[in-house]
Amino acid sequence: MNVSTLPSVELRDIQPLDAQRMRVDADGSWALLGGKCENCGKLAHPFHRGCSRCGGTERLVELEPIGEVRSSTTVHVTRPDVLLPVPYQVALVQLREGPVVSVPSLRSEVFHLGETVLLAPVLVDTLTGPRAIVQAVPLSED
Ligand SMILES: [Zn+2]
């Protein structure tokens, strides 16, 4: 795996757009968040507190930000509160740990079914200033 080609993003003092999906620490590092059911063990993303399978209580966990593209589409209209440059791609990515995550790519690549992608932070403009979201980035195998 070659992660050195990922664009580096300065996350220090940047808040995530959705604190159920990712965490940004004071040192600028980040984590993809999810929930693990304390009853049945199901992993989910984003963190919801309640398990969608059994209703049990979820514990906040960090998920490995790597997976495989299962589906993708092109979005031509952005959210009114998040200024994503249209058009952009959105993929359903099945993480290696199991959960399926809907993630955009603000880069020009088109997703390919079965392609391995890394999830990586990117900054977006919002009505309240820059926020961090997670995008999918193709993984180049060496
Ligand atoms: Zn459960």
What is the tens place of the pLDDT at every residue in 43-89?
999 999 899 999 999 999 999 999 999 999 999 998 888 888 899 99
Note residues around ion ligand 1 (Cβ under 5 angstroms): 37, 39-40, 42, 51, 53-54, 56
Q: Is residue 6 situated within a structural domain? A: no
* The pLDDT of residue 65: 97
Distance 134 CA to ligand 1 centre (A): 25
Percent of the residues in the chain that have a pLDDT greater than 70, as a whole number: 93
CB under 8 Å to 13, separation ≥6 — which residues?
none
Q: Is residue 119 situated within a structural domain? A: yes
> Which residues form the domain of 96?
12-140
CA-CA distance, 37 to 58, in Å (whole number)? 4
CA-CA distance, 134 to 32, in Å (whole number)? 8
CA-CA distance, 65 to 89, in Å (whole number)? 18
Q: Which two tokens stand for residue 34?
A: 């999810």
Distance 51 CA to ligand 1 centre (A): 5
* The pLDDT of residue 79: 81
DSSP characters over 55-108:
-PBEEEEEE-SEEEEEEEEEE-S--SSEEPPSSEEEEEEEETTS-EEEEEE-SS
Q: Is residue 85 situated within a structural domain? A: yes
Q: Is residue 1 situated within a structural domain? A: no
Distance 69 CA to ligand 1 centre (A): 25
**Statement: residue 102 has pLDDT above 60:** yes
* The pLDDT of residue 1: 40
Our count of domains for the chain comes to 1
**Statement: residue 142 has pLDDT above 90:** no
Confidence of residue 6 (pLDDT cuts 50, 70, 90): low
Distance 100 CA to ligand 1 centre (A): 16
* The pLDDT of residue 2: 42
